[in-house]
Amino acid sequence: MKIKIVIIAVLLLVIISSAGTSTWSAFTTGFNNNADISPDIERIESMYYEEPGGGNQKIEPDLKSISENLIMGMLYVTQDLNINNSYSFVAFTKQIYQLNDISLTIGSPNDERDYYLIYFRNRIKINFYDGTRIWLDGFYYIKPGQDLFDDSLYTTIGKNRTLNNNPYLFVCPDPKSACQELGIPIKK
């Protein structure tokens, strides 16, 4: 009788431990896959800092010194919108909302420069009409005539988006030089 109880106890222990192990494995796998989904700012934040005297200083445009038509505050995009100017620069300072399946085109394909410089201040969140979102911070290059809401620019995982590796929208590797080239003053 004691042998039957021991066998049953061992079998129950094996069943419970295997069920627990598979559940734990599924949980940790799901958690590890989600851990890679982080806003792009966390991966590229170091590109926006310089260390002239040993300290870190965030490179930012001096928004008070540039024309107001280059600065976009909170945007609720309800119809196709094209942002085009002769500076090849635009700064977004607040959240952007895409309310329908519409476009937010930066520049024109006929622009003289190969890229527009875009600045996103303090982790700007772009909210897409499908409920997804992305946080961007710092300087990016975008091809003139490119739709900022174009799904091909991003990878979607759940409700979050991250930038794809593509030549149409990418991190500006040297924001200080890019601003100097366009005549955009830098904060000191």
Q: How far apart are CA 162 and CA 154, in angstroms?
A: 5
When divided into structural domains, the chain yields a total of 1
Whether 13 maps to a domain, the answer reads no
Whether 187 maps to a domain, the answer reads no
Query: What was the pLDDT predicted at 4?
Result: 73
Q: 156-187: per-residue pLDDT in tens? A: 999 999 999 989 999 999 999 999 999 999 98
Whether 109 maps to a domain, the answer reads yes
How much is the average pLDDT of 49-72?
Answer: 76
* CB 83, CB 70: distance < 8 Å: no
Q: Helices (H), strands (E): how many in the chain?
A: 3, 14
Whether 18 maps to a domain, the answer reads no
Q: Which residues neighbour 122 within 8 Å (Cβ) at sequence distance 6 or greater?
A: 93, 137
Domain that holds residue 173: 40-182
Q: How far apart are CA 91 and CA 163, in angstroms?
A: 18
Whether 63 maps to a domain, the answer reads yes
Q: Using the predicted structure, report yes or no on whether residue 29 has a pLDDT greater than 70.
A: no
Whether 131 maps to a domain, the answer reads yes
The token pair at 7 is 């066998």
Q: Using the predicted structure, report yes or no on whether residue 49 has a pLDDT greater than 90.
A: no
How much is the average pLDDT of 50-73?
Answer: 77
Whether 2 maps to a domain, the answer reads no
- For the ranges 26-30, 33-37, 145-149, the one whose mean pLDDT is highest: 145-149
Dihedral angle over CA of 104, 109, 112, 114, nearest 10: 80
* CB 164, CB 158: distance < 8 Å: no
pTM for the model: 0.72
| Nearest of 38, 61, 55, 51 to residue 122 by alpha carbon | 61
Whether 1 maps to a domain, the answer reads no
